[in-house]
């Protein structure tokens, strides 16, 4: 406790023992405090003073999909906090041979302190959480990517100095990244504009819920099919790949449908001169984003990727410490 006082860390105590499936389940205050804690943890980690809050704790990490940033950042984060992480590929577990996810949740609860899962189905992750007696963290599903969104907010806050009142434009597929981004931005009072091709819009129920959160925080969410309208006067411009994991068969069609939604110099000319460009990575240069943008002076994608580590430490510490 003395070390905590020295670095003045304030864990989000209301999250103790709680799942992170979607940021819709968290209050705006909890989201805002997680962002602040992530920045604190980043600062003290770089100073070599990260407290071993999770000494003796074990995180099990289940993966149904490939991962670079999620796997490494969670594993390193647990290590920096004094705990350990165990990689578990679904094909190596009995769930890969038909064991019910409910049984898996009950079994793993007897071995681990928390589970992080990167899965195809959000429904399956919900069932895991309902049957586990330990916290479950969503590392990505077909509907949400909450840990990414927390890192996004941390990156913007560190570079803009504030979040409330800023405009963030998301251009591209209305996917899991878009869903969590709009929810997170609503929690901190950012104005959001989402531009997707017709037929690729965000889930309407999620947008309605995010709009309710935004209204409570004095901000707005605009949905359009016009990328220029979305990017106009934006402080932050964000995109993701046009074809996500599991959609490879749709790739040729998506390249056609999204051709007018590339983030390029012509489009970002409508944003503020000091706009930030963000991308959750991996990126396909000259598809969803021009090389001149992602490799240009307004790009913060690698700082954003690094911040996955610190945002997730904020979640792990608050849930498990």
308 is catalytic: yes
Catalytic: which of 240, 262, 279, 304? 240
Q: How far apart are CA 12 and CA 4, in angstroms?
A: 13
Would you state the structure tokens that stand for residue 196, as one six-digit string? 């997707």
Would you state the structure tokens that stand for residue 25, as one six-digit string? 């389940």
280 is catalytic: yes
Catalytic: which of 118, 179, 279, 310? 118
Residue 106 burial by Cβ neighbours in a 10 Å radius (0-12, 13-18, 19+): middle
Residue 82 CA, chain-centre distance (Å), reads 23
Residue 242 CA, chain-centre distance (Å), reads 17
Which SS3 state, helix, strand or coil, does residue 195 take?
strand
How is residue 135 annotated by DSSP?
A: -
285 is catalytic: no
| CA count, 13 A, side-chain hemisphere, 150 | 35
Helices (H), the chain: 2-7, 28-46, 69-80, 101-108, 122-131, 146-160, 176-187, 204-216, 227-231, 251-257, 265-268, 291-294, 301-320
Q: How far apart are CA 139 and CA 277, in angstroms?
A: 23
Q: What do you get for the CA distance between the two ends of the chain, in Å?
A: 11
Would you state the structure tokens that stand for residue 270, as one six-digit string? 């409508």
Catalytic: which of 122, 179, 308, 310? 308
Catalytic: which of 202, 211, 280, 312? 280
89 is catalytic: no
Catalytic: which of 145, 179, 187, 254? 145
Catalytic: which of 32, 80, 148, 304? 148
Residue 60 pairs in a beta bridge with: 86, 115
DSSP codes, 295-307: TSTTB-HHHHHHH
Q: Annotated catalytic sites, by residue?
A: 118, 145, 148, 240, 280, 308
């Amino acid at each position: 406790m003395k070390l905590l006082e020295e670095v003045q860390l304030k864990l989000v105590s209301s999250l103790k023992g709680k799942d992170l499936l979607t940021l819709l389940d968290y209050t705006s205050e909890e989201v805002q405090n997680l962002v602040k804690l992530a920045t604190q943890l980043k600062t003290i980690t770089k100073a070599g003073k990260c407290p071993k809050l999770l000494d003796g704790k074990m995180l099990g990490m289940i993966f149904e999909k490939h991962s670079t940033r999620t796997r490494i950042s969670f594993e390193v984060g647990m290590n920096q906090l004094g705990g350990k992480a165990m990689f578990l590929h679904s094909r190596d577990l009995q769930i890969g041979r038909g064991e019910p996810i409910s049984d898996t949740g009950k079994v793993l609860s007897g071995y681990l302190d928390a589970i992080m899962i990167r899965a195809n189905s959000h429904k399956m992750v919900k069932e895991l959480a309902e049957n586990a007696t330990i916290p479950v963290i969503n590392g990505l599903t077909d509907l949400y990517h909450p840990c990414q969104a927390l890192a996004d907010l941390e990156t913007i806050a560190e570079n803009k100095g504030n979040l409330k009142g800023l405009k963030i434009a998301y251009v591209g597929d209305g996917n899991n990244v878009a869903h969590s981004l709009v929810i997170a931005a609503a929690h901190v009072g950012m104005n959001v504009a989402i531009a997707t091709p017709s037929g690729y819009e965000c889930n309407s129920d999620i947008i309605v819920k995010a709009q309710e959160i935004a209204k409570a925080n004095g901000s707005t969410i605009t949905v359009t099919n016009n990328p220029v309208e979305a990017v106009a006067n934006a402080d932050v411009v964000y995109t993701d790949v046009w074809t996500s994991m599991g959609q490879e068969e749709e790739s040729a069609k998506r390249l056609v449908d999204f051709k007018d939604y590339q983030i390029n110099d012509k489009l970002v000319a409508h944003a503020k001169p000091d706009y930030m460009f963000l991308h959750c990575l991996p990126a396909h240069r000259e598809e969803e984003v021009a090389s001149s943008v992602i490799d240009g002076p307004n790009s913060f994608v690698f700082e954003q990727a690094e911040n996955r580590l610190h945002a997730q430490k904020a979640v792990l510490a608050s849930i498990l410490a």
